[in-house]
Amino acid sequence: MTVTSAVDAAEARIEATEALVSAGRTLFTRKGYRQTDFAELAEEAGLDLAQARELLPDKAAVLGALIERTVKVAGLLRPAVAEGVDEDLPARLARIYLALWEPGEEEESPLVELYRIALSDAEASRVLRGRTAEALNAMVDHELPGEDAEIRTALFGAQLSGVALVRHLIGVRAVSALDVETLIAAIAPGLRRTLLGVEGIEGTEGAA
Amino acid sequence: MTVTSAVDAAEARIEATEALVSAGRTLFTRKGYRQTDFAELAEEAGLDLAQARELLPDKAAVLGALIERTVKVAGLLRPAVAEGVDEDLPARLARIYLALWEPGEEEESPLVELYRIALSDAEASRVLRGRTAEALNAMVDHELPGEDAEIRTALFGAQLSGVALVRHLIGVRAVSALDVETLIAAIAPGLRRTLLGVEGIEGTEGAA
């Protein structure tokens, strides 16, 4: 294989994968995750089944790739964590996470429909967990002191994602109507207790 | 109409409504909420369309009735609120709410599949909001002092429901593995800050 044809083949592979992921977004939204099968995804993407399976092995992998394309998780929380573990860390994390959910140019963030898909089915939720919740938690809990850092981070993340879901998926007015900074100010004291412990981190403040 | 035939008619109506709601659970689970139409619900329930519409006017009403049948919201939080607004109120509310989500005799609580259905679609989420979140919040915020009681209650509810969703739908291990009382103890200090304000309620404690 010449260099040119190897490059062409790699590009064709990327394009075909993109088509398969786009097919996932289309069919998971239209038919639901549970009701879509892999053969339909391949057909929608214009690929034969064997070719599609070679790119992404199953429906869960297509959803995983769709999540990765929609939520850029890698390094997402790094700016918040890089400033160290201080009393303001929960608010910095909340600011980054909640910004993902705010509508930009679109009427709603792409996360809204993605979460509708992913929360509708147990397998889809497992994919979501691995690609978002567990990945985000790992960026934080490794930085925290204490044996219960993993539990505190997971509970912090659960509460923060609850705020995002109620604001953007469920739409409780009292939560949806707040501007983001007012919202963060209202939840930060409580989230600080959950993430950093009841005693806070007096005495360790400034230590990064 | 005789008394007997009036009673028979009322019973037939209740049975037909039950059949329609059961059809909702079956088809929303199998096909998804968005992909189910009202005519299919009527057919699954063995009713003609006009008869079904007279019982419950549309698909959203069927979901609403299914939610009411699954989550007994009316008076649910009364025992927690009846003890007054004190520092333990957030834990008492959390205990009642989280108990709904714990698996009993079944492998999972019926709320799990219900929330999968309701979070999969914007219209379904609006129905869920009215029947659960807003109804539950109203039982609490009317009891709380302060102009921002509605906002604090809604944020408290959002965080608590996030914990339930991450524990039971998304399944993050660090949250799922905790026993309920350990979980409540871990989130109570933070939730207290959100619900009762940063200053807590020192000075008003004991006033109900």
- Per residue in A142-166, pLDDT (tens digit) is 999 999 999 999 999 999 999 999 9
Domains annotated on chain A, with CATH: 3-68 (1.10.10.60), 78-196 (1.10.357)
Q: Which two tokens stand for residue B58?
A: 């549309």
pLDDT at A15 over 60: yes
**A180-203 mean pLDDT:** 84
Q: Given A115, A134, A174, which is nearest B154 (Cβ)?
A: A174
In percent, the amount of chain B with pLDDT more than 90 equals 87
B160 backbone dihedrals φ, ψ, rounded to 5°: -65, -40
In the prediction, which pLDDT does B1 show? 64
**A9-35 mean pLDDT:** 96
In the prediction, which pLDDT does B116 show? 97
CA distance B125 to B129: 6
Which residues in chain B land under pLDDT 50? 200-208
CA distance B61 to B68: 10
**A70-95 mean pLDDT:** 95
pLDDT at A198 over 80: no
ipTM field: 0.92
B103 touches chain A (CB under 8 A): no
Instruction: Write out residues 141-160 of B within 8 Å (CB-CB) of A.
Output: 148, 150-155, 157-160
Report residue A207's pLDDT band, with 50, 70 and 90 as the boundaries.
very low
In the prediction, which pLDDT does A199 show? 57
Distances (CA, A) of A57 to A23, A42, A53, B54, B103: 15, 11, 4, 48, 33
**A85-110 mean pLDDT:** 95
Q: Given B115, B137, B166, which is nearest A158 (Cβ)?
A: B166
Q: Given A119, A175, A183, which is nearest B120 (Cβ)?
A: A119
